[in-house]
Structure 1
């Protein structure tokens, strides 16, 4: 592996990736009774329990989210936020935005110290990075629309896990080794996950989290207001405002004012399929649809997964989509995002014309879609890291694709009532301006930061759900999802094979030549000479900490797939 300086973002990504992959769990075939696929078998079982009780895919997804917050605390939980895409068997798609929001005290210089913006690493720990959590508000909104079971029923598996205990897995232990500093930020973190000497608890250790069980019991009883008001809201405010690192003003009014919202999904045809994803403030859906649209004129099926040209074309389309993201996409409540222009077939055809099978673009610049706001500058990409994804389908054929996050490993490092508070505000551009112009994704009061999360639902030409997928892994999320979609839709792979194959990841185009990352240890690593010959200036093999999940329709019923790099699993009722 090459570790010489390339770009700061690439170096940070490599450092975060240096955790040995877990052996993973088998993803069993499902049936018409439904399936759940998640990053931890205990969470998948929680979702399957809801399906067994007659619950909807949305019920199963919410129960899975709550359980993951217990057993996978480094990645997600009620102290974070997420995006949920639901798809009905008759083709209707809803999208729910539970992204975290900046407190009202936040301004464009929120991450400045002594007149200079903090580095991303310096901004993460403590109170200043914490956004108002959105997961529970999202869950309540989605449950009101698509739930079948009582609200309190969804909490029971997570409450049992927190109260009775869960075993430390290899991935949790490895993440604790990587993020040992969390033990120094909040004594509650040290008490939960470290021994008396400050070492992470070994694999197999059973952890009980009574404080988390108690707050989950209260929310189950009283509803989401038990989180956003009263003693829990006061505890969040106290932790954020008195943090030993980067304390920041947040008020109980910030918590009380938070509302999840339904936003328009983005959908577009790809060959004979209809692909739907999240709209802004997530950039993931736009990236996925732009890349597929740019690639549609190429015969990817004939090229096949073993072709360096195919992966070159994918990388080139991703470069162009990322450039558009970095200039145009932000919270639509604050910025006029030209979604229609970015997905216009004529615009995408023009972008695709920049891509050639035998050569590489010298640089990938943003385009000029209809409706673009020229006030904003092209901003440097934002470092993104953690997250988890899970999918569910119920007996009626309705589906849910949910990406949940606390951002970095263990978020801000602050623990309230046994759960982790996010560091999601570091997904804003920490420096609000570039080249004398504001950036669209700068910090503002009440604003949600842009995200790469990319939950996706795919319908076939008969209008039936064909595939439900998504991924975790920060900025790699869209490229992971694109790899699954092309693998299944173009190359005829089953979902597990599509997830297992590697990814190509274009890294920020700054002062040096563009860098193309390929996943180390996969067949893509052997393609480095061929990709270099196609004109990619710097191709680097990188160990990538990827994590994707999917459910697909097969002749024998629904089948779940989980990433073998993770501890993921699928479960049926």
Structure 2
């Protein structure tokens, strides 16, 4: 990692220890000069470059940056600023993200945690009024739901660490598109015209959002050319002045003003905005029989769930030959149920509560946990890693949190010409965030990812709100490394709490069922959180899978309209293989 990794700007809180590879938390270290008594051979990358994201215009912005010599991080910034313009329902600069970055030359991983934070004035009763817990829609469409946005700060922290392109140039594709206008896509138009969604959100009650999305009172239609000069102006200011253009001055005051409006005004302050900090964390990796799976640590669920699901699946199917079978589908469902139960109980912001991250993916715990596979009609419960590992029982510390996260999210996978890689999942939480618009972008409703109910059965919930705390996330930006320690796969998805299952599907599909990136993405989505199993039936094999699981005794919930947005890159012997989810509008394109 370049020395500039440790020279983060003043507004970024840098934990220096997190910038260093730690045992068990990064890809294997290469031999030192002393150990080999000769300089190690240079690490050569000859596989090319690729961008996979949710809109062709955003992908082209990323490829442009790569053509000009930018890194995966440079490209990710360009991609995401365009996504914030053309799919504002999913993410934008009013939200946050987790970025996993792999430095090929140094063989090192870093996680940039740009998750939104609760205002300092928030407490565990953020969504409790007069002793009553607010319903989801009321909480969502309130001023209280917005966390301090982390996106612009993440851009800067990542660029300071590993960017090579000139900072201002990264915003130009989005600025040009915002000034010239972009064609409204079918997905954006369809959501705006969805009467059920329109009844729930307040887009047409917010003055700025209403004028932008519903000109003359009607929703934007497919093919309409929509410009956004306010967004272009703000990005121009950020390009010239850096994050202070967002976190201070007129833009900051506009955020405070709009969140201070009814209903249920929020308590965010200018100090909350100016003091926001990105956290650099070591990736958490799990070693498995033939590969290593690495993802973001809490408050992300990625590292815990992806390693638990694969580790449990591996144990349940031990001795079987590679390839799909109905028995393996059931094994994957059982592994999901156990991992989700543990995640719901234990995962939260580890800066505020004790999260047994390493214990949950410890091979000894997985060996014991696999014996807890529940009957198909059972209700999965959390395990107790403390007791299994001889550290004392910890299951009674927290009440289980079943917060239902909603899918206003996007995912970007990138590998650049030097072999560096980005897996970044970004979000505004629900569709169109909390419906409040400032300077051409929407604010998030990320704080509804906290448990609105702060105690369950008289026990505190680990994921209860608190001032400065980051809400638990299902976002799982993930990389897989092969048995030689080389990058093999970059994957991730939007989709609320179903993200865990979506991402796991690609890992199981590619690593054990022998599928290509696109074939794995196209598989039916199966989500096994809690006693029921959701199965996507409006795609090929979906109804067959639902029928098979139902016949095996699982309570199946047949689902349509799944909201995954998987974007996957696989490193093959002859180059890069990409896949993009047909359920959205993305593409995976290689650099010419």
Please give the TM-score of this superposition, normalised by the length of structure 2.
0.87
1:326 corresponds to 2:354: no
Q: CA deviation at 1:87?
A: 1.2
User: For 1:212, which of 202, 206, 231 is the aligned residue?
Assistant: 231
1:525 aligned partner? 543
Whether the 8 Å CA contact 2:407–2:563 is kept in 1: the answer is: no
1:98 corresponds to 2:114: yes
Q: CA deviation at 1:269?
A: 2.1
User: For 1:516, which of 525, 533, 541 is the aligned residue?
Assistant: 533
Q: CA deviation at 1:559?
A: 2.6
**Counterpart mapping for 1:105-504 below 5 A:** 105-178=121-194, 179-180=197-198, 181-196=201-216, 198-242=217-261, 244-297=262-315, 298-299=317-318, 302=321, 304-305=323-324, 307-355=325-373, 360=376, 362-370=378-386, 372=394, 374-504=396-526
Q: 1:271 to 1:241 in 2, by over 3 A?
A: same
Q: CA deviation at 1:65?
A: 1.1
Q: 2: distance between equivalents of 1:185 and 1:404?
A: 26
Gaps of 5+ in 1: 1-30
Q: CA deviation at 1:169?
A: 0.5
1:544 corresponds to 2:559: no
Whether the 8 Å CA contact 1:167–1:203 is kept in 2: the answer is: yes
Whether the 8 Å CA contact 1:331–1:447 is kept in 2: the answer is: yes
Which digits, 9 at most, give the CA deviation of each residue in 1:449-480, with x for residues without a partner? 00000001111122221110100111111111
Whether the 8 Å CA contact 2:377–2:555 is kept in 1: the answer is: no
Q: 2: distance between equivalents of 1:368 and 1:202?
A: 52
Q: CA deviation at 1:539?
A: 4.1
C-alpha RMSD of the superposition: 1.8
1:46 aligned partner? 61
Q: CA deviation at 1:88?
A: 2.3
Whether the 8 Å CA contact 2:330–2:549 is kept in 1: the answer is: yes
Q: Which has the higher contact order (CA 8 A, sep 6+)?
A: 1
Please give the TM-score of this superposition, normalised by the length of structure 1.
0.90
Q: CA deviation at 1:383?
A: 2.9
Which digits, 9 at most, give the CA deviation of each residue in 1:77-102, with x for residues without a partner? 10000100011225311111000000
2:39 aligned partner? none
Whether the 8 Å CA contact 2:61–2:75 is kept in 1: the answer is: yes
Whether the 8 Å CA contact 2:579–2:587 is kept in 1: the answer is: yes
1:84 corresponds to 2:99: yes
Q: 1:411 to 1:84 in 2, by over 3 A?
A: same
Q: 2: distance between equivalents of 1:182 and 1:60?
A: 33
Q: CA deviation at 1:229?
A: 0.9
Q: 2: distance between equivalents of 1:131 and 1:304?
A: 44
Whether the 8 Å CA contact 1:106–1:445 is kept in 2: the answer is: yes
Q: CA deviation at 1:410?
A: 0.5
SS in 1 for 2:246: helix
Which digits, 9 at most, give the CA deviation of each residue in 1:430-458, with x for residues without a partner? 01010011100001001100000000111
Q: 2: distance between equivalents of 1:33 and 1:49?
A: 14
Q: 1: distance between equivalents of 2:326 and 2:319?
A: 11
Q: CA deviation at 1:303?
A: 6.8
Q: CA deviation at 1:373?
A: 6.7
Whether the 8 Å CA contact 2:436–2:443 is kept in 1: the answer is: yes
Q: 2: distance between equivalents of 1:354 and 1:440?
A: 23
SS in 2 for 1:296: helix
